[in-house]
């Protein structure tokens, strides 16, 4: 218990609680249960993408194409629904998951087999995916009147007081908690990111592990693509433009180390919730939402600096122990 109280997650919980108190002092209705449920629902796409990004960053990689993956998948799903309104939602979901997985696999193969730096790969595919959206859509929008009621209604359907979108985010979080803690793949993500050279001697394939991290990230991006366009009932070229910054920010704020091998699923969730609360609170406290990107960027810099400082402190402790043993 004492260890948890000193952890990054406990600090984030404290910061979030203080933030809610400060917001409530200006607008008490913000912390009402119904409004907090709406805030969580608004944050669900970010939370889902942050969990996918977490496993990528744990392996010392980064996926900057998640928002473009989301946008391309969402546009294809919207166009399919507009052309064939009778296609069942389960088929749309399967298509979204499959498309996202393929795009994630493309990133993973180039990092694994071609040894291209992840940031270069995903910057390139980000641009390619955005370009494909323009080509297939001709720059045209797919609007709500072109979408079927079943298509747009699925993420909004209420179950036990929460929309399906929120339940999907909760389910994804539960799956990732289990995967990271209970499966060999989850342990491999940490091992590969913590020490790639040592991982090879334990029989782990570093490139293959990174490949599966990209596939997971891409799959969740594809899923979020359908949920996004269905919830907002619109699809266009610039869907989720710049959203990859928020996804990375959520991970870093949650304590996922850019150097790889360190961080928790809970931390990523708390990082996403922190940004979600900030985003929804800005209009309430009279701050322009256009400050959101600046706040996200500042949060990344502060979090990286905090992580680096913590890492140096641990290094000094290890050196002191070694000197004592000598």
Q: What is the pLDDT along the chain (326 residues), one digit of tens a residue?
A: 555 656 778 888 998 999 899 888 888 888 899 999 999 999 999 999 999 999 999 999 999 999 999 999 999 999 999 999 999 999 999 999 999 999 999 999 999 999 999 999 999 999 999 999 999 998 899 999 899 999 999 999 999 989 999 999 999 999 999 999 889 999 999 999 888 888 887 888 889 999 999 999 999 999 999 999 999 999 998 998 888 988 998 998 888 888 888 889 999 999 999 999 888 887 777 776 667 667 767 777 777 777 666 655 444 443 344 444 44
Q: Is 19 part of a structural domain of the chain?
A: no
Give the domain extent around 288. 39-325
Could you tell me which of 25, 109, 40, 106 has the C-alpha nearest to residue 285? 25
Say what the pTM is. Answer: 0.90
Q: Is residue 27 part of a domain?
A: no
Buried b (16+ CB within 10 A) or exposed e, 258-282: bebbbbbbbbbbbbbbbbbbbbbbb
Q: What is the model's pLDDT at position 318?
A: 35
| Per-residue pLDDT, 305 | 74
User: Does residue 26 fall inside a structural domain?
Assistant: no
d(CA 307, CA 305): 5
pLDDT at 83: 93
Residue 16, in any domain of the structure: no
Q: Tell me what pLDDT residue 6 has.
A: 61
Domain harbouring 226, CATH code = 1.10.3470
Number of domains in the chain: 1
Domain for residue 47, yes or no? yes
Identify the pLDDT of residue 271.
Answer: 92
Q: What is the DSSP string of 83-140?
A: H-TTS-HHHHHHHHHHHHHHHHHHHHHHHHTS---HHHHHHHHHHHHHHHHHHHHTT-
Residues with Cβ within 8 Å of 96's Cβ and at least 6 positions away in sequence, in order, are 73, 74, 77, 222, 223, 225, 226
**255/301 Cα distance (integer angstroms):** 12
Nearest by Cα to 71 from 126, 110, 121:
126
* Tokens describing residue 322: 């070694």
In a domain, 207, yes or no: yes
Torsion of CA 87, 47, 115, 112, to 10 degrees: -60
Q: Helix, strand or coil for residue 199? A: helix
What pLDDT, on a 0 to 100 scale, did the predictor assign at position 320? 46
């Amino acid at each position: 218990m004492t260890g948890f109280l000193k952890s990054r997650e406990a600090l984030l919980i404290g910061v979030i609680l203080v933030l809610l108190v400060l917001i409530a002092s200006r607008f008490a209705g913000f912390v009402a249960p119904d409004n907090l449920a709406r805030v969580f629902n608004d944050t669900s796409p970010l939370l889902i993408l942050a969990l996918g990004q977490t496993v990528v960053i744990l392996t010392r990689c980064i996926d900057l194409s998640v928002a473009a993956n989301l946008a391309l998948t969402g546009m294809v799903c919207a166009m399919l629904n507009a052309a064939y309104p009778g296609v069942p939602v389960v088929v749309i979901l399967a298509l979204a998951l499959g498309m996202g997985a393929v795009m994630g696999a493309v990133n993973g193969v180039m990092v694994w087999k071609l040894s291209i730096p992840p940031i270069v790969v995903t910057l390139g595919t980000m641009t390619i995916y955005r370009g494909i959206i323009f080509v297939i859509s001709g720059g045209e929008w797919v609007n709500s009147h072109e979408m079927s009621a079943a298509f747009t209604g699925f993420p909004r359907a209420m179950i036990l007081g929460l929309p399906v979108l929120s339940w999907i985010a909760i389910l994804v979080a539960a799956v990732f908690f289990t995967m990271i803690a209970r499966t060999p793949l989850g342990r491999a993500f940490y091992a590969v990111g913590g020490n790639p050279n040592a991982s090879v001697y334990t029989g782990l394939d570093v490139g293959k592990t990174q490949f599966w991290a990209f596939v997971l990230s891409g799959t969740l991006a594809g899923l979020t693509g359908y949920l996004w366009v269905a919830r907002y009932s619109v699809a266009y070229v610039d869907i989720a433009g710049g959203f990859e910054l928020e996804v990375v920010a959520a991970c870093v704020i949650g304590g996922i180390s850019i150097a790889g091998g360190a961080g928790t699923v809970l931390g990523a969730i708390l990082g996403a919730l922190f940004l979600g609360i900030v985003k929804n609170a800005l209009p309430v406290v009279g701050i322009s939402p256009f400050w959101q990107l600046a706040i996200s960027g500042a949060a990344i810099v502060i979090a990286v600096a905090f992580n680096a400082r913590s890492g140096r402190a641990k290094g000094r402790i290890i050196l002191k122990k070694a000197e004592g043993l000598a």
